[in-house]
Amino acid sequence: MVRNESPIGIFDSGVGGLSVLRAIRAALPDEALLYFADSRYAPYGKRDNAFITARMLGIVQWLEAQHVKAIVVACNTATVHTVSILRKRFQMPIIGVEPGIKPAALRSRTRVAGVLATASTLKSVRFNTLLTQYGSDCRFICQAGHDLVDDIESGDTDSPVVMRHLLARLQPILYASADTLVLGCTHYPFLLKAVHVLTDQQLKVIDTGEAIARQLMLRLTDQHLLIKPDPPVTQVESIFLPTPLRFVTTGDALQLTRMTWQLLGVNVAAEHVEIASDSG
Ligand code: DGL
């Protein structure tokens, strides 16, 4: 049974969705969160549509069995291909993420913006609809980077290798005189420092994490599903309260435990689960 105290399920192919979890935690600190990383099958950016949809259906069924009250698909690649299928099939609120083309078109002065996303996102119908809908008077230089997702999955966000991979993606964007950069993959906010170093802060960076958290808050408010916090506790009491965070992966649990510590400063032991795909 879903109650106000039930967790919010947050899903990604790997650790990228932790950037969205961070924004949700900042906006809704009392909510219990259940994070799911499908790391055994990451990166999704190289996978085809049918594969991603079958993984998503299997995982959302699992999350439903954990009684989550809402799901955030914290993965652009999964959202652009499957969010509409999920919404038809499941009753609970499902919030997706997609590249911030609209805010980039609103903010760019040079009318040139870069987009970093997966190859799968860039060739999707949904992404190309966003470009025609909101970006028609703006030039978008789109760059795909699986190597960057692999780097972040292995815990590397600032080594010379990552810098080289990132520079190769940023150069065409800078040469085209872009002043704005859309982070169209939830892994990339973990490269923000590296982007600033390599571009000397020349690019306005658009990350949709906070907008997703706001949208989630609105949906939960609408459906009367926000948690009702207990009477306030003192700081000392709060130390003894259980952390309402759970991390689950189809990959290596120890690696996810390390990554939540490295990327978020959160120390919770992750669990391993096996989830079968559902090809419908
Ligand atoms: N973090 C994901 C996204 O936002 C997917 C990266 C991948 O698995 O290729 O698209």
pTM: 0.94
Where are the domain boundaries for CATH 3.40.50.1860 in the chain? 8-97+209-272, 101-206
CATH topology of domain 101-206: Rossmann fold (3.40.50)
Does the beta carbon of 52 sit less than 6 angstroms from any atom of ligand 1?
Answer: no
Q: Which residues pair with 182 in a beta bridge?
A: 115, 206
Question: CA 148, CA 144: separation in Å to the nearest integer?
Answer: 9
Class of the CATH domain delimited by 8-97+209-272: alpha beta
CB neighbours of residue 192 within 10 Å: 15
Strands ordered across the beta sheet of 33-37: 94-96, 70-73, 8-12, 33-37, 245-249, 271-272
Whose tokens are 């996102």? That residue is: 121
44 lines ligand 1 (CB under 6 A): yes
Range list of β-strands (E), the chain: 8-12, 33-37, 70-73, 94-96, 112-117, 139-144, 180-183, 204-206, 245-249, 271-272
10 bridge partner residues = 35, 72
247 C-beta closer than 6 A to ligand 1: no
Q: Is any ligand 1 atom within 6 A of the Cβ of residue 43? A: yes
* CA–CA distance, 82 with 84 (Å, rounded to integer): 6
Q: Which of 13, 73, 120 to mutate to test the pocket of ligand 1 (most atoms within 8 A of CB)?
A: 13
The residues that are catalytic are 75, 185
Under 8 Å between Cβ of 181 and 155: no
Local confidence pLDDT in tens for the 280 residues of the chain = 888 999 999 999 999 999 999 999 999 999 999 999 999 999 999 899 999 999 999 999 999 999 999 999 999 999 999 999 999 999 999 999 999 999 999 999 999 999 999 999 999 999 999 999 998 899 999 999 879 999 999 999 999 999 999 999 999 999 999 999 999 999 999 999 999 999 988 999 999 999 999 999 999 999 999 998 666 656 665 555 555 899 999 999 999 999 999 999 999 999 999 999 998 7
The atom number, within ligand 1, closest to the CA of 44 reads 8
Give the number of other CB atoms < 10 A from CB of residue 50. Answer: 12
Backbone angles phi, psi at 214, to 5 degrees: -65, -45
* Nearest residue to 24 via CA among 217, 192, 207, 193: 217
* Token pair recorded at residue 48: 């085809």
